[in-house]
Structure 1
């Protein structure tokens, strides 16, 4: 089995190293990375969209971290109206530190062969 990991750095490299350690051939190819924005104009428009959203899908802890950093620097809070969906329980638990709301996330299923 060969696995292509598309997580951003450094988490992608960490996962590849763990997989290689247990004997699974894998590579990391980051399709995206997260950095703080230097353009307040583009972010201000995105924040408006965040507040008028009905559903917010959280893809990673890093996206939560940088969004929360921006919100704090601009004296804003996470919107409470939308439904939040998380890709992974750990990401949901990370976001729960910042907003007190129920989250939906995919539960891992174990399949026996």
Structure 2
């Protein structure tokens, strides 16, 4: 069996190393990486969209991390009005650290509440 790990760089390399160390041949290729933005483009429109959204879908733990970093740096908080959905339980558990409200994640092809 050969496994291609396509996670972002640091996590992907770690997983490929773990798999190789236990005898499962694996390669790591990163199609994208998450990094803090260094651009001077104004994010005011994106902030407006964040705070006026009805639903927010979060796809990765890194997106939670960098969004929270941005919010903290700008003395902002996660909005409480939208419904939050995550892809995967791991992302839900990371989001739970920052949002103290009910939100949803997919578990085995059904959506469940996380309190």
Q: For this structure pair, what is the TM-score category when the shorter chain's length is used for normalisation?
A: 0.7 to 0.9
Across the aligned residues of Structure 1 and Structure 2, the Cα RMSD in angstroms comes to 2.0
Give the match for residue 56 of structure 1. Answer: 56
Q: TM-score, normalised by structure 1?
A: 0.80
Check whether the contact 1:3–1:24 (CA below 8 A) recurs between aligned residues: yes
Give the match for residue 26 of structure 2. Answer: 26
| Runs of 4+, deviation exceeding 6 Å | none
Distance in 2, Cα, partners of 1:32 & 1:43? 21
Give the match for residue 47 of structure 2. Answer: 47
SS in 2 for 1:41: coil
Give the match for residue 68 of structure 2. Answer: 68
Distance in 2, Cα, partners of 1:54 & 1:26? 41
Structure 1 unaligned segments of length 5 or more: list them: none
Structure 2 unaligned segments of length 5 or more: list them: 110-115
Distance in 2, Cα, partners of 1:25 & 1:89? 27
Offset at residue 8 of structure 1 (A): 0.8
Offset at residue 28 of structure 1 (A): 1.3
Question: More strand by proportion, 1 or 2?
Answer: 2
Offset at residue 2 of structure 1 (A): 2.3
Give the match for residue 112 of structure 2. Answer: none
SS in 1 for 2:7: coil
